[in-house]
Amino acid sequence: MQLVGDVKCYYCGFVSGELVSSDGQSLKNGTFRPAPGVNSALAAKGTLRCARCGGPVFIDDVRTERPRPAAITFERERPGRPRRARPHPTESAGAGVP
Ligand SMILES: [Zn+2]
């Protein structure tokens, strides 16, 4: 599980993104995950500011989340039909096969 908190502006309430930290770590040492449309360079300066008005931010709505699982691709395959390595019919055509 990991800690996740919204990075919210004191002035305008805009959520610039989220801070994510692994379990047992302070959110202040967490990784900044920018909201969609927010420049990730915002956090590169060391201090987080509001992406909209530049105001001070605080961490809101801290919750625990499961780490996002890696992308799973095998679920899209049809069950009961194992994939076979079959030569593609168009690949060998005209390729100088004797
Ligand atoms: Zn703001």
Q: How far is the CA of 6 from the centre of ligand 1 (A)?
A: 13
Q: How far is the CA of 9 from the centre of ligand 1 (A)?
A: 5
Q: Show me where the domains of the chain are located.
A: 2-69
Per the prediction, the chain carries an average pLDDT of 80
More confident residue, 59 or 80: 59
Say how far apart CA 59 and CA 48 lie, in whole Å.
11
Residue holding tokens 């302070």?
26
Q: How far is the CA of 2 from the centre of ligand 1 (A)?
A: 26
More confident residue, 40 or 8: 8
**What pTM, to 2 d.p., does this model score?**
0.63
Residue 39 confidence (pLDDT) = 82
Query: pLDDT tens digits for 24-72?
Result: 788 878 888 999 988 877 666 678 899 999 999 999 999 998 876 776 6
Q: How far is the CA of 61 from the centre of ligand 1 (A)?
A: 17
Q: How far is the CA of 63 from the centre of ligand 1 (A)?
A: 22
Q: How far is the CA of 48 from the centre of ligand 1 (A)?
A: 11
Residues in the chain: 98
